[in-house]
Amino acid sequence: MTARNMLRVVLTPPHEEGSTSHSDCEPAAQEPPLTVEFDRDAPGDLETLQFQVFSVTDIPPEQQLLRWNGTPLRRDTDVAIIDPAVCQELHLSVSGDAPARAGEEEKEEGVDLTPLQAMFPQYSQKVLAAALSLAGGDLDTACSMLFEDGDTLAAQVEPVPTPSQESGNLDTDRKRMAFLQRIQAHVDQVMTYELQSMLDSAREVIPLSTILLKAEEAFNASQQSGGGYPSDHEYQVRELLRWFKHEFFSWVNEPKCQSCQSGGTKLVWMAPPSEEEQSFGAGRVEVYQCQSCQSITRFPRYNNAGKLLETRRGRCGEWAQAFTLCCRAMGWKARFVLDFTDHAWTEVFCEGLQRWVHCDPCENIFDAPFTYECGWNKKLTYVLGFSNEEVVDVTRRYTKNFEQVLTRRTDCSEEFCAQCLEMVSEMLMSHLPPHEVVNISQRRAAEQEELRQNVIREELKEEERRQRISGNE
């Protein structure tokens, strides 16, 4: 590609459209202009260029407002007119409304897919339109549908070809590699919970004496009444859940405006993380615009439990990470549990019950594993538990019909899944003293037998009947 076919893209904040200056909260202000390659001599319209811009900015084409040499570009613009010899900069601003095609009628109210495209860039317009249609045009309902079961809807709207229609081995290898990479990423994540600095940070924020005192009181009361859990450990876990939910962490749908502190912000695009944000594991940054003062607020999706103890906010992934770290700081055996259908929580090995127990900090629920399948109506696929000692497929614990779940597990074969988790677990245990390996192996064998038996309770607990609370508060 020659220099004549190179363009710089200068990102302009929405509230300063048409200006080349940047606010302090705009990440592009500290970054050099992005570089885009395009073939000026090839036929095509602006849409081709917009997708190239999308590939380096993560800003969907529908939200891009491009100007070249001071002239707004329309979707039917021929890229041949864009001559870097005249002007080597494209000025890019972001809007919730896409520039209309020449002669295209205005979209009817209620069918704009732009908000959904910003929140769910992994899905096509066809899938987003289907979700909005099924939701009766209600954006919030469509969002909930996509968060909870977007992959299933995508499979229905755009079915994946059967193996007989595909190249076969290549597709299988890609799926296996993606599965392995996902597992490795979460193994790396939970290993950070063992860092002394992380544990110390958690111990500094946990009101230990208060939690132990309230747990002891609850345990003594249960003993007098002749019911409850067999040890005070279970009550300690329940009290930590209560404190975390109601006193420590906060749920974020849309963050408050950093300028005027109003709650009326709207997601406008996804931005790359700054160097500092990246150092705390942020892979992406949600950028919100205040509907009152038009200021920009950044919401980094941190993937560092220690940092989350400082910010004390997020969604289910952030909640589960920070809570799992707190459990480890209490000295308990704990797992970060990932639901591949987009949720996360914690499991704690409770000494009194002598088993792993489901703990959801977002919902403040304890030992209610059928919550997601029965109360939330989730179509579960893979539910994996990650700790510094092992990775376990715990899906059977959370479903009443594992055979049905199996029909949705298409990332890899069951044999490959089992081999992969066993391999990773052996690697994690290889660094432990022999006596610990023996204890872990015995506990693993007992858990596997528990999961294989998969004894199904007919009667649901109250928490397992209710719909989701987190995200709607």
CATH of the domain at 357: 3.10.620.30
Which DSSP category does 402 fall into? Answer: H
> Which residues are designated catalytic?
316, 343, 360
CA atoms within 13 A on the CB side of 36: 28
The reply to whether 36 and 183 lie within a common domain is no
- The answer on 442 and 339 residing in a single domain is yes
In a domain, 12, yes or no: yes
Distance between CA 284 and CA 419 in Å, rounded? 32
Same domain, 13 and 144: no
**What is the residue-level pLDDT of the chain in tens, covering all 473 positions?**
444 455 667 766 543 333 333 333 333 333 445 555 554 444 455 666 666 676 666 677 667 777 766 667 765 565 555 666 566 677 777 664 433 333 333 333 345 777 777 677 667 777 788 888 777 777 777 777 776 667 767 766 665 443 333 345 677 778 888 899 899 999 999 999 999 999 999 999 999 999 999 999 999 999 998 888 999 999 999 999 999 999 999 999 899 998 898 878 999 988 888 999 999 999 889 999 999 899 999 999 999 999 999 999 999 999 999 999 999 999 999 999 999 999 999 999 999 999 999 999 999 999 999 999 999 999 999 999 999 999 999 999 999 999 999 999 999 999 999 999 999 999 999 989 999 999 999 999 999 998 988 767 778 999 999 999 886 44
Residues 436 and 382 in one domain: yes
- Please report, to the nearest 10 degrees, the dihedral formed by the alpha carbons of residues 213, 215, 219, 221 taken in order: 70
Do residues 16 and 80 share a domain? yes
E strand segments, 351-402: 355-360, 365-366, 383-386, 391-393
Same domain, 81 and 121: no
Pairing of strands 343-350, 355-360: antiparallel
Residue 222 lies in a domain: no
pLDDT at 1: 42
Same domain, 328 and 446: yes
Say whether both 190 and 338 belong to one domain: yes
Q: Are residues 427 and 363 both part of a single domain?
A: yes
How many Å is the Cα radius of gyration of the chain? 25
Residue closest to 67 by CA, chosen among 2, 128, 8: 8
CA angle 140, 143, 144 (to 5 degrees): 90
308 within a domain of the structure (yes/no): no
Whole-angstrom Cα distance, residue 384 to residue 336? 8
Q: What confidence score (pLDDT) does residue 321 get?
A: 97
**Quick check: is 270 in a domain?**
no
Distance of CA 335 to the CA centre of its chain: 17
- For the four alpha carbons of 404, 409, 410 and 413, in that order, the dihedral sign comes to negative
Please tell me whether residues 437 and 337 are part of one structural domain: yes
How far is the C-alpha of 379 from the C-alpha of 383, rounded, in Å?
11
Q: Is 64 in the same domain as 136? A: no
Same domain, 66 and 126: no
| pLDDT > 90 fraction of the chain, expressed in percent and rounded | 52
Domain of residue 28, CATH code: 3.10.20.90
**Residues 429/437, Cβ–Cβ less than 8 Å:** yes
pLDDT value at position 213?
Answer: 97
Closest CA to 274 of 261, 283, 264: 283
Residue 277 maps to a domain: no
Hey, what are 213's tokens? 């005192």
What is the C-alpha to C-alpha distance for residues 27 and 205, in angstroms, rounded to an integer? 31
* Domain assignment of residue 125, given as a range: 115-150
pLDDT of residue 4: 44
Each residue of 356-375: b (16+ CB within 10 Å) or e?
bbbbbbbbbbbbbbbbbbbb
Count up the domains in the chain and report the number.
Answer: 3
Per-residue confidence (pLDDT) for residue 229, from 0 to 100: 93
